[in-house]
Amino acid sequence: MNEKLDKQYFDVSFDFHDNKYEPIKNIGNGAYGVVCLARHRKTGTNVAIKKIVNVFEHFLIGMRTYREIKILRHLINHENIITIRDVFLDLNHTKDVYIVFDYMDTDLKRVLESNQILTNDHIKYFAYQILNGLAFIHQAGIIHRDLKPSNILVSQSCNLKIADFG
């Protein structure tokens, strides 16, 4: 992938870890960075890469990033919690941290705002998965500080994962 296209997504080159990931498109922006859909070059698996900019220059951003990584490393192997696949720094821009997650197609906010009709079975399945994830989080002694529909990710097969633990 050429550097000009890379800059469109992250304003940095993807020259790290032997080019493990190929960026595909920008899929979101947040208060602390951007999220890009990417493909793992070796496996062909789609992933979401969150870039947190200037993480070491702002205490609050650094603290939230550390908290998210620490919590998600603790909450591994649950079907309703987003999984961290990788964490790294760009060797050329060490002020930025990249967190690689499972890719999910959308979030619950977008599903609820869409014209898609949700049956009672959909609603029950969504509620079950949210409660299942929350029970796991709470059993680990963790409270999600910002649980809202935009932080609940949804796959095309209606599987949910709770995200954004910063």
Structure tokens at 31: 């208060």
N-to-C CA span, the chain: 31
Half-sphere exposure of 156 (CA within 13 A, CB side): 1
Catalytic site residue 105? no
Tokens of 130: 């949210």
Q: Which residues are annotated as a binding site for ATP?
A: 51
E strands present in 68-110? 84-90, 93-102, 106-107
Q: Which two tokens stand for residue 23?
A: 């960026």
Strand, coil or helix: what is 166?
Answer: coil
* Active-site option among 11, 18, 107, 146: 146
Q: What tokens does 84 get?
A: 């961290």
Sheet holding 21-29, edge to edge: 21-29, 33-40, 46-52, 93-102, 84-90
Binding residues: 51
Report the distance separating Cα 28 and Cα 38, nearest Å. Answer: 13
Task: Return the active site residues.
Answer: 146
